[in-house]
Amino acid sequence: MTQFGYRTLGFGSGGGGASYEIDFLVVAGGGSGGNDDGGGGGAGGYRTSTQTVSGVITVTVGDGGAAASAHDSTYDGDDSSISGSGLNTITSAGGAGAYGGTTASNDGGSGGGGAGGAGAGTAGGSGNTPNTDPSQGNDGGAGQVGQSVGGGGGGAGEAGNTDGQAYGGDGTATSISGSSVTYAGGGGGATRVGGSPKPGGDGGGGAGGVHTPNTAGVSGGANTGGGGGGGPGSVPYTPGAGGKGVVVLSMADADYSGTKTGSPTVATGTGAGSDTTTLVFTGDGTYTV
């Protein structure tokens, strides 16, 4: 944060040539799970940045991919971003939707899990698409051949299937808002017969559905960017939707201008030194430095 908590230029409300350091977290919307022994949806891309900023910051928060109602279809999550004059734009890619049947899953911020199939499973999608450094997500796991078990969706912290077949990849924890919160977990893949649903990854990943008894995939957590759980291989094949993304801004209490749109949740006196203000955007808006 700026030295002694003061603005680089000016000491009043936002604008007027002020500039100061802001920490950003940008999480995109998660992808939907696939239906019919579907894989788990990929988590939304997870990116962070620290920049010295002036002027107006425009915040866009991506929606999660809708749960597919049609057989063998899926929906990716939407991108989240921050942008503005003099600001290095940060865009996190929407999480990849997963498929069921015999269709390979999509690529995205994190990749969707592959479909299960009685004859052959399909590969999981690629994460970190488009490429960024550091990576914003991981690959989805492959569907299991001959067992009709979908692959887990990739998460920000690990690939799908890392903790076992159909398990969603875990997300990444951050304390940007004062306490540790995990975001961008991948969705769990669907399973064919019996047992408990396979869990989504830590950070809002939805659990996968089960064929017998018929259990729908669980949607990703709201404003976590979590992927949706895969839908079972029995009618109505219902997968989980992807979770909506989130954007967080963090700055010194003394710097906070109070000028904003879009109704973010504002908390002051947060952080390790209790001297930080955070704005949590769960929808589009702006903040003026």
- Beta strand pairing call for 191-193 and 210-212: parallel
Domain of 182? 1-289
Q: Total domain count for the chain?
A: 1
Question: Which amino acid is residue 179, in one-letter code?
Answer: S
Contacts of 153 (CB under 8 A, 6+ apart): 30, 31, 33, 39, 40, 41, 42, 43, 95, 96, 98, 110, 111, 112, 113, 124, 140, 141, 160, 168, 169, 186, 187, 188, 189, 200, 201, 205, 227
Digitized pLDDT (tens) for each residue of the chain, 289 residues in all: 333 233 333 333 444 468 999 999 999 999 999 988 899 999 999 999 999 999 999 999 999 999 987 766 789 999 999 999 889 999 999 999 998 877 888 999 999 999 987 666 789 999 999 999 999 999 999 998 777 899 999 999 999 999 999 999 999 999 998 889 999 999 999 998 766 899 999 999 999 999 888 899 999 999 999 999 999 888 888 999 999 999 999 999 999 999 999 999 999 876 555 789 999 999 999 999 9
pLDDT of residue 270: 67
pLDDT of residue 271: 59
